[in-house]
Chain A
Amino acid sequence: MIWNREAECMPVEERRKLQGERLRRTVRRCYENVPVYRKKFDDAGIKPDDVRSIDDLKNLPFTTRDDLRDNYPFGMFAVPMEDVVRVHSSSGTTGKPKVVGYTRNDVEMWAELMARTIGCGGAGKNDIIQIAYGYGLFTGGLGVHYGAEKVGATVVPISGGNTKRQIMIMQDFGSTMLACTPSYALYLADTAREMDLDIRDFPLKYGIFGAEPWTVQMRREIEAKMGVRATDIYGLSEVIGPGVSSECEVQDGLHVCDDHFVPEIIDPMTEEVLPAGTPGELVFTSLTKEAFPIIRYRTRDLSVLNENKCECGRTHFRMGRITGRTDDMLIIRGVNLFPSQIESVLLEIEGTEPHYLIVVNRVDSLDCLEVWVEVSEKFFSDEIKVLEALEKKIEHELHSVIGISADVKLVEPKTIERSEGKAKRVVDNRPK
């Protein structure tokens, strides 16, 4: 069901004009209020008035996660803090997270866009939506929540974890839509089976799954095991959170809310804009955000644009499913993780950087993270209890600083391969 027919089915030419107007306003807002952007524009020799239409977007400078890191926490906000009614964050490459902010209008707009995603996923005000994304600084939980309330559905804000309880509530409350990561959805289905329950017998009809990439095979598996229409949704905190784009019932690409976020595909090496149909790195520009506007943000996600008409009637252009990343970021159970974060934790503990290896496995549908740490002479103690305490300490630090649960395994020096040049830091055993 289409939530906002006027916006989602707007004729393409009309939307282009709207994008042009909004882009002008956004560039002016950035230029006047955000020193980082002013400098970028000045360095590129661009003034806000130079932006006449949406075609001028390609001349604007890029923004990367380094800009967020260098301006941690609130350096890129375009409004005074008293106008910021919410902040969220997501993993950064070092110990510090990326921080984003929202004004009251931003929160309202986000709810509206998320409502479109929920509509794309099949639900409306008569549905009961179980939100199993984490509530907190992560944009997933609260993002879906406000959209679900906007739509008028009955929201079950259960957050993540407690799987047996999730299943009990899903059955007892009669949830009709589930929002969580795709791997958690499979885990729920399998756990239900262990409880001698079959989710296919539940009232559950729809699922909106995102926060991590997933394959077509995985979609078929979820749909078969749960008896739902499984919809791929996409978003990232730096752009707004969930609600940036979503598949419709056609399940062939994700409609981008391009009246609010303009997508581009670029060549990650040359930064040249690529035409629709050519895969490359996804870049987003916000058109209406007040607290944290973003110009040509390099997401590092690989995708492709599709400007063809969709049978569902929506005119928002579509992006293809994410096929990979241009950097080394991992997504573990929906949470972003950079190997360099682990490195910085190990550095703090040992003083000198020990050799390590990150091993990711999928066990019973869930991602499991191991960090193998080489026992060098420097910290080899002859006492078991000292080594065990070290293992625990590393696990504890990883959890408290980065928020990830990892099993630390102490290994012999030769186990971790040495290689010429860039050391292989990650072994990802999960099926592609």
Chain B
Amino acid sequence: MKVKQLSIFLENQSGRLAEVTEAIGKQGVNIRALSLADTSGFGILRLIVNDIETAHDELKTRGFTVRETDVIAVEIPDRPGGLGSVLKIFGDAKINIEYMYAFVQKKSENAVVIFRIDNIDQAIETLRSKGLEILSADQVYQL
């Protein structure tokens, strides 16, 4: 149920992003989803890829600082109010969301939202009990 996300530390300089994507692209790694969080000094690039081991090794070899984090991927009906209903579930259960990002799928009526939550096990429990679809890691990597 937990999906592995790759986080990369980047200085706020032009070319850094390009170097990352070029590096993993050369190794045949495909990016499924991404998000870039920024401050004035630096950014954290978060990636869901189809082959995290290769991506991780390649970036480490190139001298980047990387880290893997557990996140969850939730399927949400792709219509107005869809996201709101999930967020309400979290809110009612007092589950804190650290960050999130979303994307639509090619082959489905549903959108996928990636959540980073501190108490990830509690989140999984809560969502399951409300009948929500949590994607498995393999499903996400193959999106």
Q: Give A residues with C-beta under 8 Å from B.
A: 375-377, 380-384, 387-388, 391, 409-415
Contact = CB atoms under 8 A, between A and B. Distances in A.
B41 interface: yes
A81 to B, nearest CB: 48
11 contacts: A375-B42, A380-B66, A380-B67, A381-B67, A382-B5, A383-B116, A387-B44, A388-B39, A411-B42, A412-B10, A412-B11
Contact of B64 (A383, A391, A410, A412): A412
A429 B10 CA distance: 24
B7 interface: yes
B40 to A, nearest CB: 10
Contacts of B10: 412
A88 B5 CA distance: 54
Interface in B10-27: 10-11, 16
A387 B63 contact: no
B124 to A, nearest CB: 18
Contact of A382 (B39, B41, B69): B69
Interface core residue of B10, B39, B41, B65 (most chain A CB under 10 Å): B65
Contacts of A381: 67
Interface string B52-75: 000000000001111101000000
Interface residues of B, number: 21
Contacts of B11: 410-412, 415
Given A382-B69, A384-B39, A412 B9 contact: yes
Interface of B: 5, 7, 9-11, 16, 37, 39, 41-42, 44, 46, 63-67, 69, 98-99, 116
Which DSSP category, helix, strand, loop or mixed, fits chain B's interface? strand
A376 B5 CA distance: 18
B41 A383 contact: no
Contact of A375 (B9, B39, B46, B69): B9
B9 A380 contact: yes
Given A383-B98, A384-B44, A413 B39 contact: no
Contacts of A383: 44, 98-99, 116
A353 to B, nearest CB: 16
B65 A384 contact: no
A384 B9 contact: no
A384 B11 CA distance: 13
A392 to B, nearest CB: 12
B110 to A, nearest CB: 26
A384 B9 CA distance: 10
A290 to B, nearest CB: 51
A380 B16 CA distance: 17
Contacts of B5: 382
A429 to B, nearest CB: 18
Contact of B65 (A388, A391, A409, A412): A412
A394 to B, nearest CB: 13
Contact of A377 (B16, B41, B44, B65): B65
A382 B46 contact: yes
B45 to A, nearest CB: 11
A183 to B, nearest CB: 26
B67 A376 contact: no
Of listed A376, A387, A409, A412, residue having the most chain B CB within 10 A = A412
A233 B7 CA distance: 54
A414 B63 contact: yes
A375 B41 CA distance: 12
B60 to A, nearest CB: 9
Given A382-B7, A383-B98, A384-B37, A413 B44 contact: no
A413 B41 CA distance: 15
Contacts of B69: 382
Contact of B41 (A380, A409, A414): A409
